[in-house]
Chain A
């Protein structure tokens, strides 16, 4: 059972920058004649490995990983990280510059909206076409055409030329064909983005079903972390052609979002790069600290003390302070407020010591943002300054008879336990 289905072994892909082709016929002839005479390439810069007419660029640089049958791998990374190049190599659209990819079985590829469809043909004819492009035999499609049509939700329009379809219907049809292919490896590149929410959900469910039941392997590229979380059980993070992480989904996502929780107990906020909308420079945070602590890990019931320092650039009235808590995936969780806690003169530096009650937060890693705000004449909120403050971790001092907290199932808060008012046998 534990069989490798895909082995990517030290694969690199090099592109040349600049003009497409990056070379002229004359250069190429010179290079060829030099090669035939056994001389050095005359178009090559001395002492380099690159050509004069365009520097090379490694879209992928020494990527290696192995995939077992039935794994559902999410591939994430910023634009230009090499995700699509990797998928192109695996689906044999283009060849690697060095390295080797070995795989077992067929590779099915979800197509972008419209590619592989011919507008003049009907939906039914296009199912056959698209299936054949993906490597299905006509007989296979005959067997599956009914369930493909049913899944696509396009039965009403199936004998209409697809040029009259909406883009959503295109995707539904394309996905239905691909998902019914008996391919061992399935590649999806950001394609579910067009379908509506219900269809997206249906697709993800279908994908995890076929993966779990038939042991199909899925490679899924997306910028939508939630779908990655729903579908995948392993995560690969690429960054500028390098594989920077390979492992569990949650860790991969936080590696990608670069939201790794820091352990600092004090931070200099004066150099923090403020967002551009913070036009009013009335007050600026300078410094934050958890006083008399060596770590930023707190026990669950523990009170947290926080020191903040700031400077007034103007005379300030009725300044408010807000502390917003995020989880490690940058989801806004909750906030706490001090209204009208300070008014002061220009140039004053102040320090405040706060006592925070975060006892309802479940164990986990958190980020905090500190915000100064005032209430404007219309009663609305007006931000004065906003900085990313100190991270903190709530540790789980599991009490006797209590369960370890499960964030994925129970969320981030534990509310106070319900009070039992009355209980009797009936």
Chain B
């Protein structure tokens, strides 16, 4: 019998730093699709309103924001000081749907290992399938919200009286969505990798996300931030995403290419670190979780 027969899978204790199983993950794309379908159907099973809940939630949050931050606290809803008007409802809604997606995806992916340990403890499939499908199923709700948002924008646009205008910047929207996916999954898988050993981080995430929201220009316009703090403020990768999203949709507002590129670099870095950590942990997390 030949001794140097080729095997297509070798399982050893060694681990290459950049062995991310991306090819294998691609082979399991049907599984990703099925997980997305499962998440979506299971979410709205035995509900009367079904996917309408995806709309109700941001709608009511936005209404509350409009009343509290807009009408009572009278916070500014402009990103740069100037003579233009954005309906405050649209302002809050734009920030809310972006943040809602980011927050829910980060939260869901940060529980990847904990929630799936029963099945992951029994059978192998590329572990990255789980966070990817979580991010994608979040996109479905986000898409529904985005459509609603664009309908409302269109209504305001036709009605007139606001400074909304169409610009080629609208093409940035898909890029912004991609960045949100990468950023939330990146943070999520870092947290999920670390929580296999230390559960503290899972506690911190829920509470930290609640605070982080106020570090982004969602409840207030960017123009409220003093000039000298603007640079460190925009290092928060979600801040340029939110302001650029508004700039792209409304046709005016705050856009700084340098800051936007830096936020992309940060997002990419976080995602990459997440991938490396994740592929390191996934091999033995069953022993420590």
Of the listed stretches B5-13, B53-61, B171-179, B255-263, name the one at the interface; the rest are far from the partner chain.
Answer: B5-13
Q: Which residues of chain B (16-61) have a CB below 8 Å from chain A?
A: 27-28, 30-31, 33-35, 37-38, 41-42, 45-46
Decide if B125 touches A135 in the complex (CB within 8 Å).
Answer: yes
Using Cβ atoms and an 8 Å threshold, which residues of chain A touch B124?
A: 91-93, 107, 109
A residues 4-32 in Cβ contact with B at 8 Å:
4, 7, 15, 20-21, 25
> B11 contacts A121, CB within 8 Å?
no
Q: How large is the interface on B (under 10, 10 to 19, 20 to 34, 35 or more residues)?
A: 35 or more
Does chain B have a CB within 8 A of A88? yes
Task: Decide if A103 touches B7 in the complex (CB within 8 Å).
Answer: yes
Contact B123 A109, beta carbon cutoff 8 Å:
yes
Q: Which of B245-269 contact A (CB under 8 A)?
A: none
Stretch from B74-82, B204-212, B225-233, B281-289 contacting the other chain: B281-289
Residue A96 CB within 8 A of the other chain: yes
Q: Mark A359-388, 1 if CB is under 8 A from B, else 0.
A: 000000000000000000000000000000
Interface residues of B (CB under 8 A from A): 1, 5, 7-13, 15, 27-28, 30-31, 33-35, 37-38, 41-42, 45-46, 118-125, 197-198, 283-289
Tell me whether B198 and A25 are in contact (CB under 8 A).
yes
B206 → A minimal CB distance (Å): 20
Partner of B123, one of A2, A3, A15, A93: A93
Q: How far is the CA of A95 from the CA of B197 in the complex (A)?
A: 17
B123–A133 CB distance below 8 A:
yes
Q: Beyond A109-B124, A115-B118, A161-B45: 15 further Cβ-contacts under 8 Å?
A: A20-B289, A90-B11, A93-B123, A94-B286, A94-B287, A97-B13, A98-B13, A104-B7, A104-B9, A105-B8, A115-B119, A121-B38, A132-B28, A135-B28, A138-B34
Task: Please name all residues of chain A whose beta carbon is closer than 8 Å to the beta carbon of B7 when the two chains form the complex.
Answer: 7, 102-104
Cβ contacts A to B, 15 pairs, < 8 Å: A21-B197, A92-B11, A92-B124, A93-B122, A93-B123, A93-B286, A94-B284, A96-B13, A100-B11, A101-B12, A104-B9, A115-B123, A120-B41, A120-B46, A125-B41
The answer, among B12, B15, B37, B197, for a CB contact under 8 Å with A99, is B12
Shortest B2–chain A CB gap in Å is 9
In the complex, what's the smallest C-beta–C-beta distance from A27 to chain B, in angstroms? 12
Residues of B with C-beta under 8 A to A4: 1, 5
Query: How far, in whole Å, are A60 and B270 apart by their CA atoms in the complex?
Result: 37
Residues of chain A with a CB closer than 8 A to B5's CB: 3-4
Bound-state CA distance A98–B13 (Å) is 6
- Specify which chain A residues have a CB less than 8 angstroms from the CB of B9 in the assembled complex: 92, 102-104
Contact at B13–A129, with CB atoms within 8 Å?
Answer: no
Q: Which of A94, A96, A112, A120 has the most CB of B within 10 A?
A: A94
For B46, what are the chain A residues with a Cβ–Cβ distance below 8 Å? Answer: 120
**Inter-chain contact A111/B30, CB cutoff 8 Å:** no
With known contacts A4-B5, A116-B123, A133-B123, A95–B34 Cβ distance under 8 A: no
Asked if A137 is at the interface of the complex by the 8 Å CB criterion, the answer is yes
Residues of B within 8 Å of A96, CB to CB, are 11-13
A104 near B123 with CB under 8 A, answer no
With contacts A4-B5, A94-B287 taken as known, whether A112 is within 8 angstroms of B122 at the C-beta atoms is: yes
Within 8 A of B (CB), among A168-183: none
Q: Are A129 and B121 in contact (CB under 8 A)?
A: no
Cα–Cα distance between A100 and B15 once the two chains are bound (Å): 12
B41 engages A121 (CB within 8 Å): yes
CB contact between B31 and one of A21, A88, A132 (< 8 Å): that residue: A132
Contacts of B8 in A (CB 8 A): 103-105
Question: Considering only CB atoms, which chain B residue lies closest to A4 in the complex?
Answer: B5
Contacts of A103 in B (CB 8 A): 7-11
Bound-complex Cα distance A112 to B118 (A): 9
Which residues of A have CB within 8 Å of B287?
15, 94
What is the CA–CA distance of A102 and B7 in the complex, to the nearest angstrom? 6
| Residue A89 interfacial (CB < 8 Å) | yes
Q: Is there contact, CB below 8 Å, between B119 and A129?
A: no
A98 to B14, CA, bound (A): 9
> Is A151 part of the contact surface with B, judged by Cβ < 8 Å?
no
The reply on A349 being an interface residue by CB < 8 A is no
Q: Are B1 and A115 in contact (CB under 8 A)?
A: no
Question: Which B residues are CB-close (under 8 A) to A115?
Answer: 118-119, 122-123
Tell me which residues across on chain B come within 8 A of A88, comparing CB atoms: 121, 286
| A118 close to chain B: CB less than 8 A | yes
Chain B residue with Cβ nearest A3: B5
How many whole Å from B196's CB to the nearest CB in chain A? 9
The smallest C-beta distance from B277 to any residue of chain A, in angstroms, reads 15
Quick check: is A128 within 8 A (CB to CB) of the other chain? yes
Indicate if the CB atoms of A109 and B12 lie closer than 8 Å: no
- Residue A76 CB within 8 A of the other chain: no
Given contacts A93-B286, A94-B283, A94-B286, contact A132 B119 (CB under 8 A): no
Interface pair A128/B34, CB less than 8 Å apart: yes
For B41, what are the chain A residues with a Cβ–Cβ distance below 8 Å?
Answer: 120-121, 125
- 4 closest A-B pairs by beta carbon, nearest first, are A102-B7, A92-B124, A132-B31, A101-B11
Bound Cα distance from A112 to B41, whole angstroms: 24
Residues of A within 8 A of B288 (CB): 20-21
Give A226 to B198 CA distance when docked, in angstroms: 45
Q: Which of A21, A100, A129, A132 contacts B10 (CB 8 A)?
A: A100
Residues of chain B within 8 A (CB-CB) of A111 are 119, 122-123
Chain A nearest CB from B34 CB (Å) reads 5
Chain A nearest CB, measured from B114 CB (Å): 13
Across the two chains, which residue of chain B brings its CB closest to A8? B11
Bound Cα distance A134, B123 (Å): 7
Cβ 8 A contact of A133, one of B121, B125, B197 = B125
- A89–B11 contact, CB under 8 A? yes
CB A118 to nearest CB in B, in angstroms, measures: 5
